[in-house]
Amino acid sequence: MAKEAVEYLNIRPKTIVVDATLGGGGHARAILQASKTVKLIGIDQDADALEAAKENLNEFGDRVEFIHANFSSISSHLAPRISRLDGILFDLGVSSYQIDTSERGFSFQADAPLDMRMDRSAKTSANDLINGGSREEIEDIIRDYGEERYYKRIASAIIKYRPAKGTLELAEIIRRSIPKTSPINTTKSIARVFQAFRIAVNRELDSLKKALEDSIGLLAPKGRIVVISYHSLEDRIVKGIFKREASDCVCPPKLPACVCNHRKKLNIITRKPVTPGDAELQANPRSRSAKLRTAEHI
């Protein structure tokens, strides 16, 4: 959804925009092409993706700055030297670059180690959680981050048959644990479980909350934040934070008077999320679950 992202960022000349999930640089290229005077700061925790982006964006020279970091640390990297940003983009979840690099373990289309770390220097991998976690820990991960109906059966199967030696073996364990009479598509259950462990390994939801809250504080007046999410857990966080920061009071409704002293910071631009059009879906089937939300600093 690069076209929509650029449109909602409302890029103006001589502005500074952050791509907080740089990946291979696809969105960054569209942003840089929108104005010859825009400067972009690209952040990514995946060192391999960052190197690929540097090569892909080489033509833009010093208009691009690259930062190897998790977007949850955006404030510590930018606040000391940049007073205000004109736009911030988040394209959440796993990137096509990571999915297509099979040895990273994000996909179950080919066999690979149970890694799933977006930052390969991180200590905890999916293997640690799957083959070392307790039944209760595994149940919690699959239930809370995968929203999977058969989380107890799947956790029991993982405990019974582990150690799982790779992505295909884990996928087979999940497949065997789903009742044959289930109306739920088994492949979707496998995808939800892989998603759950990926979110847990990378602490994605906690990082997202912090990154959004800090980013709003970095925006200039009329600066915009654009977030593209791919599942309900992410979208719920984005919607909730936008709603809170677009309100003058966040006290519980039953209180007779406001005591929070909260002040509105945002105007919500997209009252309903923007979803991919037919052309986007044909060009990029992975975008089918994408939801884009935008807010503007007052």
Question: Strand 39-44 relative to strand 64-68: parallel, antiparallel, unpaired?
Answer: parallel
Whether the predicted pLDDT of 38 surpasses 80: yes
pLDDT of residue 255: 87
Cβ(230)–Cβ(93) below 8 Å: yes
Q: Of residues 170 and 257, which shows the higher confidence score?
A: 170
What is the rounded average pLDDT of the residues 86-100? 88
Whether the predicted pLDDT of 100 surpasses 90: no
Q: Topology of 103-202 in CATH?
A: DNA polymerase; domain 1 (1.10.150)
Q: pLDDT exceeding 90 applies to what percent of the chain?
A: 82
pLDDT of residue 188: 94
Which residue intervals of the chain bear CATH 1.10.150.170?
A: 103-202
Q: Topology of 2-91+204-297 in CATH?
A: Rossmann fold (3.40.50)
Q: pLDDT exceeding 70 applies to what percent of the chain?
A: 100
pLDDT, tens digit (0-9, with 9 covering 90-100), for 160-216: 999 999 999 999 999 999 998 888 889 999 999 999 999 999 999 999 999 999 999
For the entire predicted model, the pTM comes to 0.93
Mean pLDDT taken over the chain: 94
Q: For the chain, give the secondary structure using H, E and C.
A: CHHHHHHHHCCCCCCEEEECCCCCCHHHHHHHHHCCCCEEEEEECCHHHHHHHHHHCHHHHHHEEEEECCHHHHHHHHCCCCCCEEEEEEECCCCHHHHHCHHHCCCCCCCCCCCCCCCCCCCCCHHHHHHHCCHHHHHHHHHHHHCCCCHHHHHHHHHHHCCCCCHHHHHHHHHHHCCCCCCCCHHHHHHHHHHHHHHHHHCHHHHHHHHHHHHHHHEEEEEEEEEEECCHHHHHHHHHHHHHHCCCCCCCCCCCCCCCCCCCCEEECCCCCECCCHHHHHHCHHHHHCEEEEEEEC
Which residue intervals of the chain bear CATH 3.40.50.150?
A: 2-91+204-297
pLDDT, tens digit (0-9, with 9 covering 90-100), for 115-130: 999 999 999 999 999 9
